[in-house]
């Protein structure tokens, strides 16, 4: 089983366990909303643009609500669990290349919004995959950072992002936690953040991610 499929299956199980009204780290979204989002991004390419582009967000939100009405929570959970769909199921390797990260982040969005959650130890090869993606795409994820950022993977290398001049903040931890930080989950990632207080505060409140 690929990492993308493993994260998809685990998230599907967690969705089923928690029900449609559980909180997530996605502001304003319940598990029902997040399940609809995941189905939308794979099955409704006409509505994907609004995920990143504000002018299209209204249409995306309306499609997401229509999916909730059409399938209900159990139906959406089954669609999430039984994927990938669309291009992710047609192009070899695309699901693993994109969805290993996507489903890991959203799996943690659900896990870490629940009381009593604990960090999990990721497989070593998945940690390497995430670090490789951060080395290649960290500047994109950190493009809206107001300060320079040095990502320091525990025991293995560094990557840079944010402005090249001015104050710099170091963020250290395992690759999975650094990935969550760079995807805008700064206050929920298990990392060590060091730098000037003002620079750290600005980074912690920055809208990081795609």
Does residue 148 lie in a domain region? yes
Say if residue 105 is in the same domain as residue 8. Answer: yes
pLDDT in tens for each of the 210 residues of the chain?
A: 899 999 999 999 999 999 999 999 999 999 999 999 999 999 999 999 988 888 989 999 999 999 999 999 999 999 999 989 888 888 888 899 999 999 999 999 999 999 999 999 999 999 999 999 999 988 999 999 999 999 999 877 787 888 887 889 999 999 999 999 999 999 999 999 999 999 999 999 999 987
How far lies 156's CA from each of 46, 131, 132, in Å?
Answer: 41, 9, 11
Say if residue 92 is in the same domain as residue 183. Answer: no
β-bridge mates for residue 93, sequence order: none
- pTM greater than the 0.85 cutoff: yes
Say if residue 33 is in the same domain as residue 92. Answer: yes
Does residue 118 lie in a domain region? no
Q: Which uninterrupted H or E stretch holds 76?
A: helix 57-82
Q: What is the pLDDT of residue 197?
A: 95
Say if residue 17 is in the same domain as residue 104. Answer: yes
Instruction: Please report how many Cα atoms fall inside a 13 Å half-sphere around the Cα of residue 84, on the Cβ side.
Output: 26
**C-alpha–C-alpha distance, residues 32 and 44, integer Å:** 17
Does residue 121 lie in a domain region? no
Say if residue 64 is in the same domain as residue 158. Answer: no
Q: What is the pLDDT of residue 75?
A: 98
Does residue 45 lie in a domain region? yes
Is the CB of residue 108 less than 8 Å from the CB of residue 130? no
Q: What is the pLDDT of residue 158?
A: 81
Does residue 18 lie in a domain region? yes
Say if residue 171 is in the same domain as residue 132. Answer: yes
Say if residue 79 is in the same domain as residue 19. Answer: yes
Q: What is the pLDDT of residue 160?
A: 80
Q: What is the DSSP string of 172-191?
A: EE-HHHHHHHHTT-GGGS--
Q: Supply the range of the domain harboring residue 137.
A: 126-204
Domain count of the chain?
Answer: 2
**C-alpha–C-alpha distance, residues 70 and 191, integer Å:** 40
Is the CB of residue 137 less than 8 Å from the CB of residue 159? no
**C-alpha–C-alpha distance, residues 174 and 165, integer Å:** 26
Say if residue 106 is in the same domain as residue 12. Answer: yes
Say if residue 132 is in the same domain as residue 100. Answer: no
The residues, any chain, with a CB within 8 Å of residue 95's CB and separated by 6 or more, are: 2, 4, 5, 83, 84, 88, 89
Burial class (CB in 10 A: 0-12, 13-18, 19+), 197: exposed
Does residue 36 lie in a domain region? yes
Say if residue 11 is in the same domain as residue 107. Answer: yes
Does residue 151 lie in a domain region? yes
Buried b (16+ CB within 10 A) or exposed e, 137-147: bbbebbeebbb
């Amino acid at each position: 089983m690929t990492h993308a499929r493993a994260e998809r299956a685990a998230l599907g199980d967690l969705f089923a366990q928690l029900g449609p009204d559980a909180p997530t780290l996605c502001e304003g979204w319940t598990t029902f909303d997040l399940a609809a989002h995941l189905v939308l991004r794979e099955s409704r390419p006409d509505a994907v643009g609004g995920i990143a582009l504000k002018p299209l967000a209204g249409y995306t939100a309306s499609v997401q609500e229509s999916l909730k009405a059409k399938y209900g929570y159990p139906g959406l959970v089954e669609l999430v669990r039984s994927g990938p769909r669309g291009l992710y199921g047609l192009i070899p390797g695309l699901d693993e290349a994109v969805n290993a990260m996507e489903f890991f982040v959203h799996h943690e969005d659900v896990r870490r919004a629940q009381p009593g959650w604990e960090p999990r130890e990721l497989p070593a090869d998945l940690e390497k995959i995430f670090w490789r993606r951060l080395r290649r795409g960290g500047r994109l994820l950190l493009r809206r950072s107001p300060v320079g950022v040095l990502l320091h993977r525990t025991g293995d290398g560094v990557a840079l992002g944010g402005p090249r001049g001015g104050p710099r903040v170091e963020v250290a931890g395992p690759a999975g936690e650094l990935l969550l930080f760079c995807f805008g989950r700064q206050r929920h990632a298990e990392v060590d953040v060091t730098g000037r207080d003002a620079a750290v505060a600005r980074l912690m409140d920055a809208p990081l991610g795609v």
